[in-house]
Structure 1
Amino acid sequence: MSSTLTRTFTVAALSALAWLPATAAPVIIPAPPQISSTGYILMDADTGKVLVEHNADEQLPPASLTKMMTSYIVSGDIESGKIGEQDLVEVSVKAWRMGGSKMFIREGTQVPVIDLLRGVIIQSGNDASVALAEHVAGSEDAFVDIMNQQAALLGMTSTHYKNATGWPAEGHLTTARDLSLLAQALINHHPEHYALYSEKYFSYNGINQPNRNKLLFTDDSIDGIKTGHTDEAGYCLVASGQRDGMRLISVVMGTRSEGARANESQKLLAYGFRYFQTHTVYAAGEVLSTNRVWGGQRDEVQLGVAKRVALTIPRGAEKALKAELQLPEVIKAPLSAGQQMGRLTISLEGETLYDQSLVVTEDVAEAGFFARLWDGIKLFFFQLFN
């Protein structure tokens, strides 16, 4: 006798707890656009689904895209209470002397953390990056150790930092895929500070500078993230935007000009928004099955999903999603809320998109001795004749 029961539904039918065969026309997605970039990737920020990629794992110099990690660490320290937004940072000689793009802070002055963070994000200030690194870790070298530790925690397996700015250095490398993971973390882990990436201008020391991300000025749906450029790295851009409840992240590295990095990013984002959607299949805690419980103070238990189930699918394909439940034939008390039991698999045209355990939605205590004895007798005959 099989220990599990398998039932297949369309997703819509499963939500209604009624069986229905899945039928839908095949989904056809056009080929992605041709992108003039050394390495690139397009990801759904919500689900992590990669929609387009090319040389996404090739290690390349990130230039000022490095500052995404610098700001990520600072945002984390602010939110954890290690530092405060209004804490004053004394500007060192090293920070003041930094070349390249600058916030124009002055040696010996004190600057609030939040102003320096804006200087990093909006003005791409090398001086602001070093000042924050020294404030957080005591030195830029010590801060770099934190950067590499954080990269490992985020799964950025092909990234190695040598400084907090992106200043050219041998071995200072990352990939388009790793940058998409960092961008996803910036958006999801620090939403309040992520809003800084959409600010178009920041003025400090009497100098007003525009954000170098041209997409902020041409597309209202774009709200970040960071540009980078050196002779070795070329022109790079990590961009993100949101339309109709879908947030995408694009990374382009090694383009030929400021205009090219914006145009190539726009092509990727437009493709993703036009042909795909982020579809919430089930809400967190949604019940998918009600099952008989043997030997419990209650006769039934509900099984559902612990977390929201969201999938990136072709637009209009939600009716073709097929859900499969694998349920135990016999469920015995006691049961605890959150206990894993059974399995949910969701597929589209034969491709598995989701495969996770279901969970018990509420406790079911064990019944008394005589109730368990009677249920045991009934279970014996149930199994005998089924």
Structure 2
Amino acid sequence: MLDQPRRASRQQVYRRRRFVVFGFLAIFLVAAMYISGALFAPMPATAAVAQHESTIAQPTAALTWPGFGASGITAPDYPGATQYHGSDAKMPIASVTKTITALVVLDKKPLKAGDDGPSISFTQKDVSIWKQVIAAGGSWAPVVAGTSMTEKQALEAMLLPSANNYAISLATWAYGSTGAFVQAANAWLTSNDFTGTHLDSPDGLTAGSVSTAKDLIGIGKRALADPVLSTIVSQKSVTLPGAGTQDNTNTLIGVDGIDGIKTGNTDEAGNCLLFSAQVTVGQSKVRVIGVVLGAPTHADLWAAVKSLLTSMRSGFHEVDASKAGQSFGTYSTPWGAKSALIATSTKMFLAWSDSPIQVAVETRPLQSGTKGEIVGQVTFTLNGKTQTAQLVLDKALPDPGLWWRLAHPGGMGA
């Protein structure tokens, strides 16, 4: 009877021991799971906080316009860099007409770059034209019966000294008569959408040869696009058979990058210039075409052209959209690590006026990273043209470490 209580006591001790053992085992397993989760569970990815402008814009250009007539200016390679001022009515254009005459002659008798073209023989008829031009008070260059010039030389005689007699002789040579030329010229103008322009002669001496600033900008573009004409109008002088040395009436050639195109002057038209220039903006070159019509004097014309061109140049800006080492954002982790996103290269744009440069930053989420690791890119867009710079970490973004992981298993509570 005494053995029964002893057996009961031994069972109770055994149960207590099992409870203690399994309790410790449970605690151990929970602890192991906790530590395993803390050490090996992935940390939450960290997104970069971008710090940049969505657009970059410069001050609006303020062009210096003349206080007379009509004018316009453009940088053909830059959208939006075209402006006009003053009257939009048709105005007499005097010898600027000869730019159109040259284009229409070349439409019938085209020349390739480096080609002088066929020989044109001059007769007593051309001498008579010369004398008639002198009597009418027009600009002229000498011509000698029995001499000849190439087509290119005849164009030079017309365009540089602005010789009316060579304009008439060239038009007659190409089209048979001045009447046939005028008809062909007006058809050419219509077919090319220069509806504000009309000619009644190849030389522009009469007030019936008219145009607008807008049309003349387009005509100037066509003249510069022709490799023969663009070469001719940039010359300061030329020596021609039968005519000798002839100077360009555009005395601004070589001033402020001006390299063309054509002067004009009559009582009705005043003083006019269709001009072109290659202007320097920082390390860049910008092609500019402009026109000023109706200046009271040559001095007023030259001053107006130079002021307009200077203000056009000032309206362009070299913009460093990014510089190597420039920060575009920051990674900040829950465990207190930080690293800036910096650009690896400089990206420069030449922007006209307040044309906006669009800025877009792309990055990827990070848990950690090394210094210099590529983590994204920044893309700049201006008028459809883009440049891209890579973004890297400026310093390492470390793992949180043992103690932070133990205190924040799986990143919870970050």
TM range (shorter): 0.5 to 0.7
Which residue does 1:126 correspond to in 2?
A: 164
Distance between the aligned counterparts of 2:98 and 2:174, measured in 1? Answer: 14
Offset, 1:321: 7.0
Equivalent position to 1:195, from 231, 248, 268: 231
Q: Which of 232, 250, 263 pairs up with 1:227?
A: 263
Structure 1 residue 319: deviation in Å? 3.1
Alignment of 1:93-172 (within 5 A): 93=126, 95-96=129-130, 97-99=132-134, 100-107=138-145, 109-169=147-207, 171-172=208-209
Give 3-state SS (helix, strand or coil) of 1:142's partner.
Answer: helix
Q: Which amino acid aligns with 1:151?
A: L
**CA shift at 1:144, angstroms?**
1.0
* Correspondence 1:90 to 2:113: no
**Residue type of the alignment partner of 1:266:** K
Report the counterpart of residue 303 of structure 2 in structure 1: 263
Match of 1:68 in 2: 99
Quote the offset at 1:50 in angstroms.
4.9
- CA distance in structure 2 between the partners assigned to 1:312 and 1:74 by the alignment: 37
Distance, in Å, in 2 between the alignment partners of 1:164 and 1:139 is 10
Where 1:165 maps in the other structure, the secondary structure is: coil
Q: 2:81–2:352: 8 Å Cα contact kept in structure 1?
A: no
Secondary structure of the residue aligned to 1:218 is: coil
Indicate if the aligned counterparts of 1:246 and 1:277 stay in contact, CA closer than 8 A.
no
Answer whether contact 1:154 1:182 (CA < 8 A) is retained: no
Secondary structure of 1:215's match?
Answer: coil
For residues 347 and 54 of structure 1, the distance between their equivalents in structure 2, rounded to whole angstroms, comes to: 30
Tell me if structure 2 keeps the 8 A contact 1:120–1:126: yes
What secondary structure sits across from 1:157 in the alignment? Answer: coil
The one-letter amino acid of 1:125's match is A
Query: Which runs of no fewer than 5 residues in structure 1 stay unpaired?
Result: 1-18, 280-310, 323-345, 355-386
- 2:214 equivalent in structure 1: 177
Q: Give structure 2 stretches of 5+ with no counterpart.
A: 1-49, 320-348, 361-379, 385-414
Distance 1:278 1:133 in 2: 45
Compared CA separation, residues 123 and 316, structure 1 to 2 (3 A): same
* Cα separation, partners in 2 of 1:84 and 1:144, compared to 1, 3 Å: farther
Structure 1 residue 277, shift from structure 2 partner: 6.4
Tell me if the contact between 2:142 and 2:243 (Cα under 8 Å) persists in the aligned partners. no
Contact map agreement 2:61 2:314 (CA 8 A) in 1: no
Matched AA of 1:172:
S
Question: How far off its partner does 1:151 sit?
Answer: 1.3
* Counterparts of residues 1-386 of structure 1 (less than 5 Å): 23-47=54-78, 49-55=80-86, 57-79=88-110, 85-91=117-123, 92-93=125-126, 95-96=129-130, 97-99=132-134, 100-107=138-145, 109-169=147-207, 171-188=208-225, 190-204=226-240, 205=242, 207-219=244-256, 221-243=257-279, 244-276=284-316, 313-314=351-352, 319-320=357-358
How far is the alpha carbon of 1:214 from its aligned partner?
A: 1.9
Which residue type is aligned with residue 236 of structure 2? K
Residues 1:26 and 1:159: Cα distance change in structure 2 (over 3 Å): same
Aligned to 1:342: none
Q: Which has the larger radius of gyration?
A: 2
Task: Return the alpha-carbon distance in structure 1 between the equivalents of residues 228 and 76 of structure 2.
Answer: 16
Cα distance, 1:36–1:312 mapped onto 2, change above 3 Å? farther
Deviations 1:320-372 (A, max 9, x none): 378xxxxxxxxxxxxxxxxxxxxxxx997xxxx67xxxxxxxxxxxxxxxxxx
1:47 Cα offset (Å): 4.9
CA deviation digits over 1:241-299, x for unaligned, max 9?
113231111100000222221221111111112213699xxxxxxxxxxxxxxxxxxxx
Question: CA contact under 8 A between 1:123 and 1:202: conserved in structure 2?
Answer: no
Higher relative CO (CA 8 A, sep ≥ 6), structure 1 or 2?
2
Is the contact made by 1:56 and 1:177 (CA closer than 8 Å) also made in structure 2? no
Change (3 A) 1:210 1:117: same
**Per-residue Cα deviation, 1:168-198 (whole angstroms, up to 9, x for no partner):** 14x321111111100011112x123311111
Distance 1:84 1:214, change over 3 A: closer
Residue identity opposite 1:157 in structure 2: T
Checking the alignment, whether the CA contact within 8 Å between 1:75 and 1:193 is kept in structure 2 is no
Amino acid at match of 2:151: V
Residues 198, 26 of structure 1: alpha-carbon distance in 2 compared, 3 angstrom cutoff:
closer
Q: Is the 8 A contact 2:182 2:202 kept in 1?
A: yes
Matched-pair contact (CA < 8 Å) for 2:56–2:359: no
TM-score, normalisation: structure 1: 0.63
| Kept in 2: contact 1:144–1:162 (CA 8 A) | yes
Counterpart amino acid of residue 229 in structure 2: H
CA distance in 2, matches of 1:313, 1:56: 28
Aligned-residue Cα RMSD (Å) equals 3.3
Query: Displacement of 1:26 after TM fit?
Result: 4.3
Quickly say closer, same or farther: Cα 1:200–1:80, change in 2 above 3 A: closer
The 1:58–1:48 alpha-carbon spacing in structure 2 relative to 1, beyond 3 Å, is farther
Alpha-carbon spacing, 1:254–1:29, altered in 2? closer, same or farther (3 Å): same
Q: In 2, are the aligned partners of 1:70 and 1:164 still within 8 Å (CA)?
A: yes
* Cα distance change, pair 98–166 in 1 and its aligned pair in 2 (3 A): same
